[in-house]
Amino acid sequence: MSILMSLLSGPWTMYILWVLCNSGPTRFGALKHLVEGISTKVLTERLRMLEAAEIIYRQYEPTVPPQVTYGLTERGQELIDVLHQLNALAERWYGSE
């Protein structure tokens, strides 16, 4: 449990997963726009960490310019119910702030 909590408790991590849960596979630029306020550096770090943990995947298309898409792996999809429960709790506690 401590490994998972350590992985998910970093700043922005759960929110990135929530965005991917709701948006489906998303390109880097769109993800940066959807996770309002995150720096490019931090987003890159979090995505690399989640990819290394096999919670998300990174799909690279060698086009001009290159297209990189991120999405939830099967392991990441196991978190969907937890993310929806946290969202319901947040709405109960804080409304739609």
Q: What is the pLDDT of residues 18-67, one digit of tens each?
A: 999 999 999 999 999 999 999 999 999 999 999 999 999 999 999 999 99
What's 91's DSSP letter? H
Range of the domain at 6: 2-94
In angstroms, what CA-CA distances link 34 with 22, 26, 55? Answer: 11, 10, 19
Indicate which CATH number applies to the domain containing 31: 1.10.10.10
pLDDT (0 to 100) of residue 85: 96
67-94 mean pLDDT: 96
Cβ neighbours for 24, distance < 8 A, ≥ 6 positions apart: 71
Does residue 35 come out as left (phi exceeding 0), alpha (psi in the -120 to 50 range) or beta? beta
State the total domains in the chain.
1
pLDDT (0 to 100) of residue 97: 66
pLDDT (0 to 100) of residue 96: 74
